Structure 1
């Protein structure tokens, strides 16, 4: 039985919405949770495959293999990873920022942006529960991701400076940013290649089917759970990129390079182990 991590945020819904779960349950057990918990579970060997934070792959790259052309990326604005600040971003050096405990990628992306692109190296960071009002009670800014960030952006009435981290990354690097990847443990691939192949094709088919109708049916389902309107969610999904091609891979390797140079990754990740579904594994340097 393959243990499958399922991120609970809407940004991965296109991959899961049309999956044939009944058929897959013959060999797959789905474990839903937030990215940080799934990252830890993958690292501990408690799940075998699933979407995890791209930073988590960087930390465990030698033990993991990436599924091809499956990822959550943006070429600019991502629409669900926001820094809410009481002062302009240029004035945040020496200030206090509250960080969500939900995602390693966004936390380190923010720190890289602050340090490398703005020269801010005296910020005091605190990690806490993603509760907007509590985070800003004693901090000058807060970082929220996923549905927490979207809900906070809806409530924001122009009193705060709001920065989209995907937009900031693209502005300074002109590269896409990959926030989540689909990874599997090497041992799982050795033991359950057919089950993983079935999962891969289901994820691909689900995203393609969601995209085919402009994400309308998916958006209607999301409205019932999270509010908003169909047009907002269609625009949100259409703005994201769900591919992991050459350009996205280059952008991710650049992120890893900066993360290593800033001391967030113990070693430089200079290649990606990507599964070739037909012939095996190959590396992207």
Structure 2
């Protein structure tokens, strides 16, 4: 059966502090925040490594933790009749990944492994990088979900498949938050998409401060919403607005054609 949709996608960005390397506490916390959403939403977005914070010690976690967190995401998606997306530490076939899951209410899910591991923090030494980009069709929108450091690389974010939404989950620290703001806006403009970024708040156990700035930009780069406090931000994306902009300003028709070789 073809999925019905109305050309609108209501999203909930959950901006929060995180409990360091404590998956149970984070699941409890996010479960409460999700239960407190008082309107119907289509997609709930959690930060990068939402079960642990940006840890470079994946071996501190039980190997089965990723499966436990995925089961939790499936349960929350079903209970709320909403898709849920976020990344986590995930152990698979002898390797650790910073793996994003996009879980639909019916339990189906798709995954994306972070392509650009953050070498400044040594993430490339602890986690295996992904090689394939993901574009998800959901409620009439084509969504490309990426993870944190991916934001700095416009070729990887390039709209070569006519998707509608670029979505970044992150643990983006305060000293470089100006880059976060600027690059989210740039990715929206150059790709003619809604660009959504969900960052965390607070201080982690290694002393990094995170200021939030979870935000949504429209296909012309106009800021729709931004926050610096602990809250759930709800925004409705409208497919007709994307089509209107692209039909009037046919910039994507003039993009350079090329493919990544590796």
TM-score, normalised on structure 1? 0.26
Q: Which has the higher contact order (CA 8 A, sep 6+)?
A: 1
Name the structure where strand makes up a greater proportion of residues: 2
Which protein has the larger Cα radius of gyration, Structure 1 or Structure 2?
1
Name the structure where helix makes up a greater proportion of residues: 1
TM-score, normalised on structure 2? 0.28
